[in-house]
Amino acid sequence: MNNIIENTDIEIVISSDWSSDIEKISDFYKQQGIIKKPIGITTKLKYNNIQINRSKEILYWLDVNKADKWLVIDDIYLGELLINFIWCDLAHKGISKDGVRESIISFF
């Protein structure tokens, strides 16, 4: 993650099923040695489908915050619902999976 941050000057926004506490997530990032903490977290919405739910949360955040350039990286496949999406299909590897880090850096 630090390599991506250093090479792109990105900001991080979290959309998570396990926490909506930005301070808790920021502390987790710090404990992991990540050099930049998240600037925000998406609003929780309630739809019956996890892909629709996650996509709507992200799109709502983007609309409210007027982000110009953005990229979604997720282990849930959202490619049919969002543009600018990179799928980390091996959740246990995440962005360390071959080619994912490079795809993110080249996008920005």
Domain span at 93: 2-107
Residue 55: burial class (beta carbons within 10 Å; 0-12, 13-18, 19+):
buried
Angstrom distance (rounded) from CA 64 to CA 91: 28
Angstrom distance (rounded) from CA 55 to CA 59: 6
**pLDDT for the residue numbered 67:** 82
Say how many domains are in the chain: 1
**pLDDT for the residue numbered 104:** 75
Over the chain (108 residues), the average pLDDT of each successive run of 10 is 84 81 89 90 87 91 88 85 78 62 75
